[in-house]
Amino acid sequence: MNDAMPLMDFIQQLPKTETHVHIEGALPLELLQRVRPEFHRPPASWMHDFKYRDFAHFEQELLDMACSWYRTPESYHEAAKLIFAGYVAQNVKYVETSFASGMIEFGGLDGREVLAAIHEAAPAGLEVRVFLGIHHNGAGGKMRPILEEALGWSGLAGIDLHGPEDMTLEPWSAEYWAEARRRGKYTKAHAGEFMGADFVLRVLDELRPHRIEHGVRSVENPAVVSELRRRGVALDVCPTSNHKLMPGVRLPEHPIRQLFDAGVTVTVSTDDPICFGSTVADEYAALAKWQGFTRAELAQVARNGFAISLLPEAQKQGWMAEIERLVGGKA
């Protein structure tokens, strides 16, 4: 193990992934400051001990900031260029990001143009996959035919269920998730952030997603933890987001340690960094500082990110070999 290297240098050199980030919530601060001069300093939510009152408080702040900038496909392109450059600087090699279907429904944007704008911003050396994030009630009115059409969009990697978990899982969602799988799309769903382990199991059974976003409250029921292992469903965990948003959760007691030790495949990501003020490197550092993750364990989290990625197998193995060289002190 390469223990002589300072921890932050080790994290920097570690090839990493970001598999749970909302592009609207990743708005670069410098772009927000361009249209909202009052943000000459970062939002108060970037402070370590900040806690949102509830999801509605968080959602209102996120929408207030994001909608100040994201108004055209060109604005997505400009933001994505800066976001992706930040990943390259952190030695992140693979990114899965989603854009909100609400920007189509309420913002009047063409989803295909937004999708293309994000892809065109991806620099050489960074693999990017783009998902469509859909709220629990996101198939109403004009949106159902658009969502059906979206499953045929070139460059759309898959879909993700977003929004407050206490909203009803409407009948259309199971049908749509099944159709997405039939059409070769990768499926995700947010669960186990605000609702408990029973909701995670319900989502697993009804939507059958390939992966769960967050999922940390699965620890409340050992049977659900076992089911995640049995099905091979990974959790894309966002520790800093949970620390600042989930009731009763702080980094020292975060459930990711229990999930990792129980053999559940976990990754770490930033979720909405404009709201939480973290980077991918910060998330790894938090695991070491607050959860006692060793360098070998941090390397395993990084491996997990590549293992569950949508990269070709040869690329996955190449980055895992790079991790092995670093862990073995040969980097």
Catalytic residues: 193
**Are the CB atoms for 259 and 225 separated by under 8 Å?**
yes
Query: For 86, phi and psi rounded to 5 degrees?
Result: -65, -40
Going by C-alpha positions, the residue among 119, 181, 162 that lies closest to residue 272 is 162
Alpha carbons 104 and 71: distance in angstroms, whole number: 10
Question: How far is 191 from 124, CA to CA, in rounded Å?
Answer: 33
C-alpha pair distances (Å), 62 with each of 140, 241, 280: 23, 13, 19
Burial of 205 (0-12, 13-18, 19+ CB in 10 A): exposed
Going by C-alpha positions, the residue among 173, 174, 245 that lies closest to residue 216 is 245
- Does residue 320 contact residue 310 with C-beta atoms inside 8 Å? no
